Structure 1
Amino acid sequence: MQGKNGRRGGGTPGERKVSRQEEIKDLDFLWLKIKEELKQNENHIENKLEELQERIDRRIEDAIGELSNKVQELTVKTKTFEETNKKIQKDVREQKRETEKVKEGMRELNKTQEQIWDSIAMTEMRQRQMQLKFRGIEEEMNENIRERIIKELAKWLEMKEEEVAYTIDNAYRIKIRTYQNRTKKPLGDCLVVFNSIGMRNLILKTSYHKKLIIGVRPIIVLKEIPVRLLRKREGYRYITGVLRRNNIQFRWEFPEGIAFFFKDKKFKLTNPLEVEKFLRRYERELGKKEDRVKDRRDIGGERAEEGGGTGLRRGEGEGDGGVEEEEGEVEEENTEEEEARN
């Protein structure tokens, strides 16, 4: 009974020793197998990691290569853009220089054209300097206008008719109907051509002090000045008002400008900029700034009443020859005083 139980408990010690050795061998074999499998797995993992690293390296190299190519392309494009930009800037600079040359040429051309027009206006004025226009002479039946004017001028100037007739080459009536009075009677303009500048100036000077009356109507004595020259006077309108307010006589310069004596010194202003400089310099002597502003407003009001014109009478009819008319007594008187001072 005991023997049977002993076998059930593991047999004899020798058997149990043999059994343990076999188990140890099995364990060693299993461990070796596990180690071998671990080694194989480690090698497999290392191979996979190497393959992955290689793929990553290849992708990085490809990406770097692609980026390098793009950078090179961008560099080439940038250089091309810079060269194109430089060329455009150069073309723009050249275009600006050419534009400035064209503008300078246009300025010179305009200046030359202005000089030509001034010369034409001066020539026209010289051609008309021996003429005067008498406005307001009513027309009579079968009149001899030359004899009639000679007779009236002789009586007005207190001269002999022969003396007056000697200085008049011709006289004729001008049929003018202006835009403003198309429905009215003509103004009764008569043009007188003199052969003596002295008689012309005498009539202008006398008309300033003494009114010429023919029949019952006062006659306006006008001298003809080209429109271009009168328009140049627009920029001097204010200073002429200042000079008149200060009782300073002046005369017009041709083709443009104004001359006068002030503080025992002769001034000759030939453009609006010189006028402004003069007014700023002598503001205290010519009046306070408030007075000057008032004068400027008064002149603006006069211009509005005159319809925005120059304030000089206009010859607006056909055959007027592109001239405007001006009562010229003041200018002639100033001219004589200028000569006396010189």
Structure 2
Amino acid sequence: MAEIKEELKKEIKGMKKENEAMKEDIESLKRGKQKQEETQDKTQERMKNLEILNQRVIQRQDYLERTETEYQLRLRNIHEEKEENIREKVTEILVELLQRMKEYIEDQIDRTYRINTNYARKHKTDRDVIIQLTRKVMRDEILRTGSKKSAFYKEKRIVILKEFPTSTIKNRRKYAFLTDELKRQNMKFRWEKDEGLMTTYKGQRYWVKSVERARQFYEGIKAEDMDEEKDHVSKGKQNKGKRMVSPRKEELENCNQRITRSMAARATDTQTTQEEIATNEEDEEGEEGEEETQEGQEEERQEEDPEITE
């Protein structure tokens, strides 16, 4: 028994040592986990700072691009040639459009260059031309004049467009589903400077400042358009049900009725004329009878008193 107790004591001591070792391992794991969490927190904090810096860089880049595009214009449909002098072509177009001196236009142009686009590569068309002007006022003058009269180069109409930052173009693509529907319904709209657009619907202005609001507005005008189409179709069916004869047949019937009325009027006029003639003949016969009566009376008077006649 004593030996068994000794063995049990040794095993208990060994288990205690193992337990203490396990506790130390757990503590070290906890310390390691705590360090890991602290490291993760520091990493996340650094990530947040990097995101903030990245947003600042993007905003700064967008501001610089927006500022640069305020002095730029895009010209489309200028014929592209090998070893061309694109600055000379643009100067010629603007001189003709603005009716200004060539030297003045040359001073207003900073630089000109062609830009590659997927559309030009796919359809093998002339690349667009970007004009960098020295003054924003000059850009506004070109846009204002170009909206009133067209510019031409070698008998080809030149399209003058505003240049926008890449961020603005990407942002506007999110509203493509709404702008396509507005164009289909011939509704005018105007892009807002920062976000969204403004449009007029049934005499009332609407400002759409978010994609969610654009989706709601799109569903609303789409539903009303479908209701109007249903009303139009139902009215067309009602009108079709009311008309039992074809328009051509109806015209023929109206024509026949007019002819019948005309013939009846003519018959009435003929009858009236015949009655007038008969009345005149009766009047003449009456006058002749009166004359014969008067002559007979005179003859009788002559027979009764022949001396009066002498």
Give the gaps of 5 or more residues in structure 1. Answer: 1-56, 155-160, 292-342
In structure 2, how many angstroms separate the alpha carbons of the residues matched to 1:172 and 1:98? 49
Which residues in structure 2 correspond to 1:299-310 (within 5 Å)?
Answer: none
8 Å CA contact 1:251–1:258 kept in 2: the answer is yes
Which residues in structure 2 correspond to 1:47-62 (within 5 Å)?
Answer: 57-62=1-6
Could you say which residue in structure 2 is the equivalent of 1:260? 198
SS at 1:221 equivalent: strand
Could you say which residue in structure 1 is the equivalent of 2:19? 75
Alpha-carbon offset, residue 64 of structure 1? 0.8
SS at 1:267 equivalent: strand
Alpha-carbon offset, residue 99 of structure 1? 2.2
Distance 1:244 1:252, change over 3 A: farther
Could you say which residue in structure 2 is the equivalent of 1:123? 67
Alpha-carbon offset, residue 59 of structure 1? 2.5
In structure 1, how many angstroms separate the alpha carbons of the residues matched to 2:166 and 2:206? 27
Distance 1:63 1:172, change over 3 A: closer
- Quick check: 1:238 aligned with 2:177? yes
Residue 278 of structure 1, aligned match among 213, 216, 221: 213
Which residues in structure 2 correspond to 1:86-101 (within 5 Å)?
Answer: 86-101=30-45
Structure with bigger gyration radius: 1
TM-score by length of 1: 0.49
Which residues in structure 2 correspond to 1:1-342 (within 5 Å)?
Answer: 57-128=1-72, 131=73, 133=75, 135-137=77-79, 145=89, 148-150=92-94, 152-153=96-97, 161=99, 169-170=107-108, 174=112, 176=114, 178=116, 189=129, 191=131, 193=133, 195-206=137-148, 212-246=151-185, 247-254=187-194, 257-261=195-199, 264-269=204-209, 274-275=210-211, 277-288=212-223
In structure 2, how many angstroms separate the alpha carbons of the residues matched to 1:177 and 1:97? 46
In structure 2, how many angstroms separate the alpha carbons of the residues matched to 1:91 and 1:83? 12
Q: Percent identity?
A: 17
**Paired amino acid for 2:60:** I
Distance 1:65 1:229, change over 3 A: same
Cα deviation per residue 1:160-206 (whole Å; 9 max; x = unaligned)?
Answer: x359997885469956485866xx89658484847545522323434
The alignment covers a number of residue pairs equal to 214
In structure 2, how many angstroms separate the alpha carbons of the residues matched to 1:150 and 1:138? 17
8 Å CA contact 2:95–2:105 kept in 1: the answer is no
Alpha-carbon offset, residue 225 of structure 1? 2.9
Indicate the RMSD between aligned Cα atoms, in angstroms. 4.2
Alpha-carbon offset, residue 107 of structure 1? 1.6
8 Å CA contact 1:167–1:199 kept in 2: the answer is no
Alpha-carbon offset, residue 80 of structure 1? 0.9
In structure 1, how many angstroms separate the alpha carbons of the residues matched to 2:102 and 2:196? 32
SS at 2:66 equivalent: helix
Higher helix share: 2
8 Å CA contact 1:145–1:172 kept in 2: the answer is no
8 Å CA contact 1:212–1:220 kept in 2: the answer is yes
Distance 1:135 1:203, change over 3 A: farther
Cα deviation per residue 1:216-247 (whole Å; 9 max; x = unaligned)?
Answer: 32322233334344334333333322333341
8 Å CA contact 2:113–2:131 kept in 1: the answer is no
